[in-house]
Structure 1
Amino acid sequence: MSDLAVSPSLLTPNVAAPTARSEAETARMRATAEQFEASFLSQMLKPMFEGISTDGPFGGGEAEGTWRSFMIDAMAKQTVRAGGIGLADTVVSEMIRMQTEQSQTQPGATA
């Protein structure tokens, strides 16, 4: 059973990564990471709504089925605005780390 134990460090995002070069760059990375998290959440929410019937006294009929994907996308974006699931933090941290590694190897690189 101990073979299946997950290290707590694998579940905790590395938020203590190096900082980006500028505020604007950090803001762009954050926006991109949040868009990625919203897209991911949208894909995870879609199966939850697939079996729901749109007929009945309180159903929206065909229109509900047509607009459901937009509603799911809006729910995912709202979830990210409310704090999300932490995926954006991990993505930003990784983007900053990769950017720092790249900038450290480029000035001294000879090829």
Structure 2
Amino acid sequence: MTASATPHASVTSALTAREAAQKLEASFLAEMLKSAGFGKSPSLGGGIGEDQFASFQRQALAEEMVKSGGIGLAESFYVALVEKQNDR
């Protein structure tokens, strides 16, 4: 591996680590939204289809929350992932 390839590889792995951290935070937030009852049908006739798509709505909302700064978990996850990669 050349010296010029090493910085590119570290940038790529840093971006991958950041994306993984953000996805993990989004999954956590989606589960928290589910526990809070977000997306439950109000028994007004949405039926089973509404219940099935509620998870997509929660996931989309969670991803937007992360894009807006989230609750700070992604940064903690990112730091832990980068430290783990550096230990190798």
Q: Please tell me the TM-score bracket, short chain as reference.
A: 0.7 to 0.9
Provide the alpha-carbon RMSD of the alignment. 2.1
1:78 aligns with 2:64: yes
CA distance in 1, matches of 2:64, 2:39: 23
> Please, which runs of 5 or more residues in structure 2 have no aligned partner?
1-8
> Please, which runs of 5 or more residues in structure 1 have no aligned partner?
1-20, 103-111
Q: 1:88 aligns with which of 74, 77, 80?
A: 74
Identity among equivalent pairs (%): 36
How many residues are treated as equivalent by the alignment? 80
Q: Decide which structure has the larger Cα Rg and report it.
A: 1
Q: Secondary structure of 2:62's match?
A: helix
CA distance in 2, matches of 1:67, 1:51: 9
Q: 1:25 aligns with which of 10, 13, 38?
A: 13
Q: Secondary structure of 1:45's match?
A: helix
**Residue 51 of structure 1: how far off its partner (Å):** 9.0
Report the residue type matching 1:40 in the other structure.
F
TM-score, normalised with respect to structure 2: 0.76
